[in-house]
Amino acid sequence: MRSLITTSAIAALALSLAAGGAFAASRHEGTTSTGPENGDYYQGIFGNDDVAPPAPDARPMTSAVVVQQPRLATILHELHAANHRMDAERASGKLGPVAFNRLRREESGIRADATEVAAMHHGMIPTSAYAQLQRDVRRLDWNIARSA
């Protein structure tokens, strides 16, 4: 008795899945209406949808170099924090004038490099340049800790 119930339940499940798949496939293949009134999920992908392609400015950037605008702000913020740390170490007497001036020059060089790269790329910093600037900031932080 149990095998009859199990067999019929499995058969009903298989038939419903097959019928559901066939029904879903027939809905997308046989549509002849164009435009948003057909309710097609794939609207705009097929050639007969009468949908204009996106404007060139609205297309996502597909080059290998990915840039983000807040990267410059992140670098400048980290340099600002390093600047405050140098001032605090100098005020507490842990950092001498020679080391302070050397670290100040290093910080201003990194800041100049970051703004120059951003100016060349319309205010954004590419991934490779951002990684190099991050390494420079980390080295500056390490030099501040070592000099203090």
Q: Which domain holds residue 81?
A: 69-145
Q: Say yes or no to pLDDT of 17 above 90.
A: no
Phi, psi for 147 (deg, rounded to 5): -75, -25
Q: How far apart are CA 126 and CA 110, in angstroms?
A: 16
Beta bridge partners of 67: 126
Name the pairing type of β-strands 67-68 and 125-126.
Answer: antiparallel
Structural domain includes residue 64 = no
The mean pLDDT of 20-36, rounded to a whole number, is: 57
| Predicted model pTM | 0.53
Q: Say yes or no to pLDDT of 31 above 90.
A: no
Structural domain includes residue 31 = no
Q: What is the pLDDT of residue 137?
A: 95
Mean pLDDT of the chain: 77
State in Å, rounded, how far the first CA of the chain is from the last one: 85
Q: How far apart are CA 77 and CA 116, in angstroms?
A: 16
Q: Say yes or no to pLDDT of 28 above 70.
A: no
The mean pLDDT of 36-43, rounded to a whole number, is: 53
Q: How confident is the model at residue 6 (pLDDT cuts 50, 70, 90)?
A: confident
Structural domain includes residue 113 = yes
Structural domain includes residue 29 = no
Q: How far apart are CA 115 and CA 128, in angstroms?
A: 15
If DSSP codes are grouped into helix, strand and coil, which group holds residue 81? helix
Q: What is the pLDDT of residue 54?
A: 55
Structural domain includes residue 112 = yes
Structural domain includes residue 108 = yes
Structural domain includes residue 25 = no
Structural domain includes residue 118 = yes
Percentage of residues in the chain having pLDDT higher than 90 = 47
Q: What is the pLDDT of residue 16?
A: 76
Could you give the C-alpha distances from 146 to 60, 62, 141, 143, in angstroms and in order? 44, 42, 9, 5
The mean pLDDT of 116-135, rounded to a whole number, is: 91
Number of domains, the chain: 1
Q: What is the pLDDT of residue 124?
A: 87
Structure tokens of 111? 């800041």
Is residue 115 within 8 A of residue 72, CB to CB? The reply is: yes
Most confident of 4-18, 33-47, 61-75: 4-18
